[in-house]
Homo-oligomer: A and B are copies of this chain.
């Protein structure tokens, strides 16, 4: 059970977009080049973000993406779910229904304990992701990234931002 690589891509792209000045856009091409990713495929991830309403897009030359909201109001869970989907990691195939000791047509009113416990674990995972915003990430990154690289990257991005 491994998350799609698009999750990592989306998170990094959002981290970059979070540093973009108000009103500027950054294209798929620039984001793909910056991260060394296949442009066409990365495009699908960005489209997922767009469909989820997390980023805003614009067409034409100097077009691209920007965040739809301030970084402090965009959390990890939203980004992860946008590309990975909202479905739970544990799917219940209801195998207990096959138990030959159960009367025919017997219908369990509620999901069984196994499923509920697994879903609670899922929820703990979600809760952690919900608690971290892009603003939090930006604060950590700016603290940990060597200033020279940080500045070079910022300049590189600005030069290509529409």
Residues of B within 8 A of A15 (CB): 114
Contact of A114 among B2, B113, B137 (CB under 8 A): B137
Interfacial residues of chain A within 50-75, with CB under 8 A of chain B in the complex? none
A22 proximal to B (CB < 8 A):
no
Q: Give the size category of A's interface with B.
A: 35 or more
Contact across chains for B84 and A1 when beta carbons are under 8 A apart: yes
In the complex, the chain B residue whose C-beta lies closest to that of A37 is: B95
Interfacial residues of chain A within 1-59, with CB under 8 A of chain B in the complex? 1-5, 7-9, 11-12, 15, 33-37
Contact across chains for A35 and B113 when beta carbons are under 8 A apart: no
Chain A interface mostly helix, strand, loop or mixed? helix
Contact across chains for A9 and B95 when beta carbons are under 8 A apart: yes
In the complex, the chain B residue whose C-beta lies closest to that of A77 is: B121
Q: How many copies does the complex hold?
A: 2
Contact across chains for B124 and A89 when beta carbons are under 8 A apart: no
CB distance from A84 to the nearest CB of B (A): 6
CB distance from A104 to the nearest CB of B (A): 12
Residues of B within 8 A of A128 (CB): 120-121, 124
| A-B CB contact pairs (8 Å), 17 listed | A2-B87, A2-B89, A2-B91, A5-B93, A8-B114, A11-B118, A12-B95, A37-B95, A37-B98, A76-B118, A101-B152, A103-B149, A112-B141, A117-B129, A121-B129, A122-B125, A124-B125
